Copies of this chain bind each other. A is one copy, B any other.
Amino acid sequence: MSQQTAYRTHHATDVTEVLVGEHVTLAGWVDRRRDHGGVAFIDLRDNTGLVQVVINEEEMARPLRSEYVIEVDGKVRQRPEGNENDHLATGKVEVVAEKIRVLAKSDALPFQVSTALENESENKLPGEDVRLKYRYLDLRRPAMQRNIKLRSDMMRAARTELDKLGFTEVETPTMIKSTPEGARDFVVPARLVPGSWYALPQSPQLLKQLLMVAGVERYYQFARCYRDEDFRADRQPEFTQLDMEMSFVDQEDVIAMAEQVIKAIWKADGYDIETPIRRIPWQEAMDKYGSDKPDLRFGNELIELTDYFKNTPFRVFQAPYVGAVLFKGGASTPRRQFDAWQDWAKQRGAKGLAYVVFGENGELKGPVAKNLSGEERNGLKEAVGAEDGDAVFFAAGARESSQLLLGAVRVELANRAGLLDPKKFAFCWVVDFPLFKRTDDPDDDDVAVGHSKWTSMHHPFTMPSKDWIDTFDEDPEHAMSDSYDIVCNGNEMGGGSVRIHRDDIQDRVLNVLGITPQEAQDKFGFLLEAFKYGAPPHAGIALGWDRTVALLAGADSIRDVIAFPKAGGGRDPLTGAPAPISDEQRAETGVDYDPEEDED
């Protein structure tokens, strides 16, 4: 990337042996300065990397400090033998400075950003509020530069693939009508219609469906979405999704398309993803992995013991479901660590975490062991596939919550065993979801839309699967939907569904959800109306883009792949947003508009 500008003839990493003997002009930051025998060595950094600048004149070197922005005229030469740096692309050469111009100075930094720190521990980083307050410095760190660049490369890869597949990029509006997506809307007062508000979209769901009715056929967009939720780690009030919708397709078509796009995205960072990606029915994911987003980088599936304990004398195991997860080599775990597991389970809302230990001598130990019958004790090792020296954790109770607990244990065990390699990517589709779930589902972080005991597993616009189209409203508990989630390394990377495109089916789904025709009319009457004018069958999928980038980047937090994320509570330590507004601004918003006053 040699882009000559007013300030440079070359970028740092253009300076290799082919330029030896040539004059170059470079521009960038002083990454590091070392002085040795009256000579100053500067690592000059630009967005391609580093090159060493040698300054023989003391006067020229004197003013230069870390993070000064400089322009350097100089001559490229081979480094003296023995001084080469194999870690640098430019490590065989150096630039002997002839003229240096300081373009901007820098105060002492609140924390160091030098490339030299790259291979050291990042533990020296300050707390997140300081990183965000000085985000423009935090982003100078090579790890962050890579994340920002990778995000852009991934977007390009996705777009290029979607273009090949005949997709049209369409921008949908940000200021829309509040739609029933389940979470809380951010709202914007409409000055020109006092007392009225826009909502920021939780997703472009209804708009992209309208684009299908409009005949666009294949739409995509990197869509900004907004949810006003209480702060949780790794949630952002605004986030990006890669939103795709297609007409005249079924679930298979969308999955095939999405696999091509995901393959292209991973390819942008050099990874070859094998397709077709394995599919796991939702029930199997729950049974085997205790999760609707199973981490398949390791095995250790859940073991169901409901049958095994069907005549147990142990009251705790006299439950609708009993399951276990093996703790390989866990027998040597000290008692206080098992106690810590109890606390861990309680923090997740469980009562505790039963376990037994298979001693080296075949002895069964642990608080639960004595409660089991002799037969149960004798057969347990075989039933769970353990060996002497292993331990096993149990959960008993309602099927779903017990499985979720065991699923979390399974992942935490793998985590502690160092099995969660961020550079290994295990994908799967989770398919065959129920159409509805109970509104009292304790795992549900969405708000129920209607006033029924049923809410949508995905959203109210999801098509019942073919077998259930006629009967889903008679048996909402068992009805299945045409929906699918794409999961990577235990993260839900995205999901989608075949959408309802007929108003009669949509009416019946809304009815199950307890949404009255009047409410439906108020909230999305325009969609129901659109369905009267020839809506094609359509389906789509959206990838949570921040999460997708974080996965490929190997970042711990989505905040590390967003240029300017918010801190907890939606605060921005950099700009101080949100902030009070002036009385004049407030008056203009119209939020204090009183229609009765107006009538006088």
Contact surface of A with B, Cβ cutoff 8 Å: 1, 3, 5-8, 27-29, 45-47, 67-69, 103-107, 109, 134-140, 145, 148-149, 151-152, 155-156, 159, 163, 165-166, 168-178, 184-193, 195-200, 206-207, 210-211, 213-218, 222, 224, 226, 228, 230-231, 237-238, 240, 246, 248-250, 252-253, 501-502, 526, 530-537, 562-566, 569-572, 574-581, 585, 588-589, 591
Contact = CB atoms under 8 A, between A and B. Distances in A.
B238 A69 contact: no
Given A29-B215, A210-B136, A103 B159 contact: no
Nearest to A27: B248
Contacts of A172: 563-564
7 contacts: A104-B537, A107-B533, A177-B579, A184-B588, A186-B188, A197-B578, A198-B577
B109 A533 contact: yes
A279 to B, nearest CB: 17
Given A104-B534, A526-B574, A579 B197 contact: yes
A29 to B, nearest CB: 6
A571 B198 CA distance: 10
A501 B104 contact: yes
Contacts of A168: 148-149, 152
Given A197-B579, A577-B177, A5 B249 contact: yes
Given A177-B572, A186-B188, A564-B173, A46 B217 contact: yes
Contact of A240 (B171, B196, B214, B532): B171
Given A6-B249, A69-B535, A526-B576, 15 more contacts: A69-B537, A104-B537, A136-B213, A137-B214, A140-B215, A171-B240, A172-B563, A184-B588, A187-B581, A188-B578, A192-B230, A197-B578, A197-B581, A198-B577, A214-B563
In order of increasing CB-CB distance, the 9 nearest A-B pairs are A190-B578, A139-B214, A106-B534, A196-B578, A177-B577, A7-B248, A177-B575, A6-B250, A67-B534
Which of A156, A188, A531 has the most chain B CB atoms closer than 10 A to its own CB?
Answer: A188
Contact of A217 (B47, B163, B218): B47
A579 B214 contact: no
A537 B106 contact: no
A47 B565 CA distance: 39
A193, A206, A240, A575 interface centre (most CB from chain B within 10 Å)? A575
Contact of A533 (B106, B193, B252): B106
A151 B570 CA distance: 34
A45 B151 CA distance: 38
Given A177-B576, A579-B196, A533 B215 contact: no
A139 to B, nearest CB: 4
A83 to B, nearest CB: 27
Number of copies: 2
A171 B224 contact: yes
A142 B109 CA distance: 58
A570 B175 CA distance: 9
Q: Is the interface of A mostly helix, strand, loop or mixed?
A: loop
Contacts of A246: 5
B175 A238 contact: yes
A74 B8 CA distance: 64
Contacts of A565: 173
A250 B186 CA distance: 40
Nearest to A562: B171
A543 to B, nearest CB: 15
Given A5-B250, A136-B213, A585-B185, A193 B537 contact: no
B211 A563 contact: yes
A196 B580 contact: yes
A533 B137 contact: yes
Nearest to A570: B192
Given A173-B238, A238-B173, A249-B5, A536 B104 contact: yes
A166 B3 CA distance: 8
Which of A47, A171, A191, A566 has the most CB atoms of chain B within a 10 A radius of its CB?
A171
B578 A216 contact: no
A128 to B, nearest CB: 16
Contacts of A564: 172-173, 207, 210
A302 B248 CA distance: 58
Contacts of A250: 5-7
A523 to B, nearest CB: 10
A130 to B, nearest CB: 13
A185, A222, A237: residue with the most chain B Cβ atoms closer than 10 Å: A237
Nearest to A248: B7
B29 A190 contact: no
Contacts of A534: 29, 67-69, 104-106
A161 to B, nearest CB: 12
A23 to B, nearest CB: 18
Contacts of A537: 7, 69, 103-104
A171 to B, nearest CB: 6
A186 B211 CA distance: 27
Nearest to A231: B192
Nearest to A220: B152
